[in-house]
Copies of this chain bind each other. A is one copy, B any other.
Amino acid sequence: VPATARARARAEMTAAITDTARRHLAVDGAAALSLRAVARELDVVSSAVYRYVASRDELLTLLIIDAYDAVGAAAEDAATASRRRAPAARWLAVATAIRTWALANPHEYALIYGSPVPGYHAPEQTIGPATRVSLALLGVVADAGAAGRLMTVDARLPSGLRRDLDQVREDLGDDPVGALPPDALARALTAWTQLFGSISFELFGQTRNVITDHDALFETSTRAMAAHIGLPG
């Protein structure tokens, strides 16, 4: 709760800037995002924006963090809401939540999962928010594993991949995801890339002229990948 009128005004103006920028992003895409256009819409001289945001890049960073947080929250909510359902149904629920968010916010999706914005280099701050989605997805697998409902095959993994996955498990520490066997983690990674691959292809128009019922293809693919991970139900 901001104490003074000035602090309140500052919070409001900052929010107005990011909101406007987000709306511009939604209409024109990241490459077209301009501080001058934002200032214009807020009826303020362009240099005034610099009181609130250090540069165009910083504004982009704010939007990226927002987007990661939004899709991360959507995924976490779906994971929580589906808590009592079968593992495969949960995977589908979380995947569907991610896709629904992407379809509703295509430019924000493109901002974080599309080609990198030219000339922009993501700072460290974006890493944390970026992992929320992945952890929500992997959490479903970990829950199944903890409940003894994850079929493992114990496939032989290439040693380089094995090392990477061991490192991931170590980094996760106490997180239940860290308790997953490496082969389950590997299969989840495959499913993870499939998930975002299908969303990107749908959104970026790669399936135009081929698929009309994207819902059906998505559900079929996602169920198949849940089975591949070893999730029953």
Contacts and interface: CB of A to CB of B under 8 A. Distances in A.
Nearest to A156: B220
B201 A196 contact: yes
Interface residues of A, number: 50
A158 to B, nearest CB: 4
A164 interface: yes
Contacts of A205: 116, 122
A228 B224 contact: yes
B115 A190 contact: no
Interface stretch (A10-18, A76-84, A206-214): A206-214
Nearest to A206: B113
Contacts of A122: 205
Contact of A210 (B164, B211, B225): B164
A189 B29 contact: no
A206 B126 CA distance: 11
